[in-house]
Amino acid sequence: MRITRILLLGLWLVTSHGLQAQRQRTNAYHLEAGGLVASDQTPFWLRANQYGTVPLNGSIARFSAGLKSDYRAADSTGYRPKIDWGYGLDVVANAGATNQVLVPEAYIKGRLGAFELYAGRRRELVGLVDTLLTTGAYAWSGNALPIPKIQIGVPTFTSIPFTRGIISFLGAYSHGWFENTGRQITGSFLHQKYLYGRLGKTTWPFRLYAGFNHQVIWAGQAAPGVLSPNVAVNGQLPSTLRYYPAVVLGSRGNFQNDNVVTSFEENRIGNHLGSVDLAADADIGSWNVYVYRQFLYDDGSLFYGTNIADGLNGLRLKNRNTPAEGAFSLRQITFEYLFTGSQGGDEFVIDDDRRRGRDNYFNHSQFVDGWVYFSRAIGTPFLTPSNEVRPSLNSGGPIGNNRVSAYHLGVSALLFGTVDVTTRLSYSINAGTYPSPYLTLPTQFSGLLTASVPLNILGGTTLNGSLALDSGGLLPNSVGAYLGLRKSGLFSRPANSQAARSSY
C-alpha cells in the first residue's frame, strides 16, 4: 500500500509538472522499414559506425522504431526549467541471413542545471572530431552497440563562472558493464571519463579546444585454462572497490601482498586507453573551418613520446549559409588521416622507457577479448577485428589489424533543394599487428553514396538509399545496397519542428 501511494504521488508530480510546459516538450518518434543486400560480407561503410545494428554478413530485411523525449526548450520569456528529464528508446530488428532484435538505445536522463545523470544505453561519440562525416573518434566511435552505463556529467559546453563565456567545459564520469555472452573474460566493468575545455565565446570568430578521454576495462574472471597463472590467479582478476582508485587514476597500487594480484596488476589494474585531443575552429566568411588532432595512448608510449606519430588528424569545412536554391549546394567537406603504425616501436622492454613499444592497440594479454563489445571494435572501425578481415590473413588477436594508414574524404550536399546526399571514400594501407604482420601490406578502398528523398505519402516520409563498395586485399570484395522508407515526426510538438533524419 505504501509503495502504491509513493508511485501515485510520483506520477502526480511528474504529470502536474509536465502539464505546465507540455507545449515546450519535444516528443519524437520514428519508424523505418527497409532491406539490405550484399554480394558478400556487408560493405564497410554500410555497417561501420552504425552502433552495431547492421550485421556483418548476409542480406536482411530491417525494421526500426524509436521514441525520444528531450529536455524542454526555453519559452518565449527565456525561462527554461533547471530540473528536467527525458528518455530514449530505439529497437532494431533484422531478419534474413541474420535474425536479431537489438536495443541500441534505452535510457532515462535527468538534468539539474548544467549537470546531467543518465542510466542505460545511449548513442555517443567521445572526443574532438567532426560528428557528421568522421571515420570515428579513436577510442569511442559509435561502431559498437552502446555499452550500458550510469553516467554523470556536463553534456554541453558550459561557461565557467566569472569568465563570461570565454572559458567553457564539458565532461562526464561513468561506470558500465561489458557483456558476458561470447567473452572469455566475463563480469568485466567499464570505467570512463572525459573532460574538454573551450577557450573563446561562441560569438567569437575563433575558438580553441583541448581535453582527454580515459577508458578502462577491468575486473572479471576467466574460464579455466583461458589465462595462465602469471596473468590471473585461478582465473580471477581484481574486482572489488579496493582496486577502484587505481583504476580511476591509472596509478600503480601497492597490492603485492594480495593473493589475486599478478605482475600485470603491479603495473596497472585493468586495460587503459584513450586519447589526448586538440582542436580549433574559425569562422571565415561563409565557412566554418575546424581542425583537430587526437594523440593516442594504449600504454605509456605517449607519455614518453615514442608513439607521437600515431593519431587521428581532421579538417572539416562547413557551410554556414542556408543551402542555396538550385541544382547543387555544398554543405560540408571532411578530410581525415589516421595513422597507428608506430605504437612506440617493435620492442617492449619494461625497464627502458624509450623501448616500451608494441602497444598493440585494442588488444591486451590479460583482457584477451580486446577492446570490443559484441564482437565490434568500440573505437575506430579501421582497427579491424580478426573476424572481419579476409580468412587468409594472419590473426594477431581479437583485433587482427591495428597498424593502419587510412585516408578519408566525406562530402555532404543538397540537390535541388530537397535531396540530401553524402559520400564517404576511404583508402587504407594495412600492416596487421607487430606479433602477426601482414607482409604484403594489403590496401583497401571502401566507398559509400547515400541519398535521402522526401516523399509526400503517409503524411510525409523519407526514402533512404545507399550504395557501398569494398575493393582491396583486407576485406572481402563486396557490393551492397540499402533501401528504406522512414516515417518520423513529433507528438505534442511545438511549431516549426523538423523530423529526425535517418542514420544512413
Q: What is the pLDDT of residue 394?
A: 78
Alpha-carbon span 469 to 131, nearest angstrom: 23
The C-alpha torsion from 96 through 100 and 104 to 108, rounded to 10°, is 130
Q: Is residue 229 part of a domain?
A: yes
Q: Is 378 exposed, middle or buried (0-12, 13-18, 19+ CB in 10 A)?
A: buried
Confirm if 60 and 97 have CB atoms less than 8 A apart: yes
Percentage helix, strand, coil for the chain under 3-state DSSP, each rounded to 5: 10, 45, 45
Task: Looking at 161-206, list the stretches that DSSP marks H as alpha helix, in order from N- to C-terminal side.
Answer: none
Residue 196, all three cell numbers? 574538454
Q: Is residue 364 part of a domain?
A: yes
- Whole-angstrom CA distances from 498 to 85, 269, 491 are 21, 47, 12
Q: What is the pLDDT of residue 147?
A: 98
Q: What is the pLDDT of residue 310?
A: 95
Give the number of other Cβ atoms within 10 Å of residue 302's Cβ.
Answer: 20
Alpha-carbon span 394 to 435, nearest angstrom: 10
Q: What is the pLDDT of residue 266?
A: 60
**For residues 364-384, average pLDDT:** 95
Give the number of other Cβ atoms within 10 Å of residue 401's Cβ.
Answer: 30
Q: Is the pLDDT of residue 440 over 60?
A: yes
Residue bearing the bigger pLDDT, 457 or 7: 457
Q: Answer whether 0.85 is exceeded by the pTM.
A: yes
- Grade residue 24 by pLDDT with cuts at 50, 70 and 90: low
Q: Is residue 498 part of a domain?
A: no
E-strand spans in 79-219?
Answer: 83-96, 100-112, 115-121, 149-159, 167-177, 185-186, 189-199, 206-218
Least confident of 108-122, 311-325, 417-431, 441-455: 311-325
Q: Is the pLDDT of residue 53 over 60?
A: yes
Q: Is the pLDDT of residue 1 over 60?
A: no
Alpha-carbon span 432 to 360, nearest angstrom: 10
Least confident of 9-18, 84-93, 405-414, 419-428: 9-18
Number of folded domains that form the chain: 1
Alpha-carbon span 364 to 360, nearest angstrom: 7
Cα–Cα nearest to 277, from 263, 289, 294, 290? 294
Q: Is residue 146 part of a domain?
A: yes
Q: What is the pLDDT of residue 264?
A: 66
Q: What is the pLDDT of residue 112?
A: 95
Residue labelled with grid coordinates 579476409: 390
Residue labelled with grid coordinates 522508407: 485
Confirm if 142 and 125 have CB atoms less than 8 A apart: yes
Cα–Cα nearest to 274, from 300, 297, 251? 297
Beta bridge partners of 50: none
Q: What is the pLDDT of residue 352?
A: 62
Residue bearing the bigger pLDDT, 92 or 416: 92
Give the number of other Cβ atoms within 10 Å of residue 353's Cβ.
Answer: 14
- Grade residue 196 by pLDDT with cuts at 50, 70 and 90: very high
Residue bearing the bigger pLDDT, 300 or 428: 428
Residue bearing the bigger pLDDT, 146 or 224: 146
What are 28-52's pLDDT values in tens digits? 999 999 999 999 999 999 999 999 9
Alpha-carbon span 263 to 231, nearest angstrom: 7
Cα–Cα nearest to 336, from 278, 412, 406? 406
**For residues 323-337, average pLDDT:** 88
Task: Looking at 64-110, list the stretches that DSSP marks H as alpha helix, in order from N- to C-terminal side.
Answer: none
What are 223-279's pLDDT values in tens digits? 888 888 778 888 889 999 989 999 999 887 677 667 777 766 567 889 999 999 999
- Grade residue 404 by pLDDT with cuts at 50, 70 and 90: very high
Q: Is residue 299 part of a domain?
A: yes
Q: What is the pLDDT of residue 328?
A: 87
**Mean pLDDT score of the chain:** 88
What are 91-126's pLDDT values in tens digits? 999 999 999 999 999 999 999 999 999 999 999 999
> How many residues in total does the chain contain?
504
Q: Is residue 76 part of a domain?
A: yes
Alpha-carbon span 170 to 151, nearest angstrom: 13
Q: What is the pLDDT of residue 6?
A: 41
> What single-letter amino acid sits at 451?
A
CATH number of the domain where residue 412 is located: 2.40.160.130
Domain span holding position 265: 27-491
Alpha-carbon span 275 to 273, nearest angstrom: 7
Q: Is residue 405 part of a domain?
A: yes
Q: What is the pLDDT of residue 26?
A: 78
**For residues 416-438, average pLDDT:** 95
Q: What is the pLDDT of residue 364?
A: 92
Q: Is residue 56 part of a domain?
A: yes
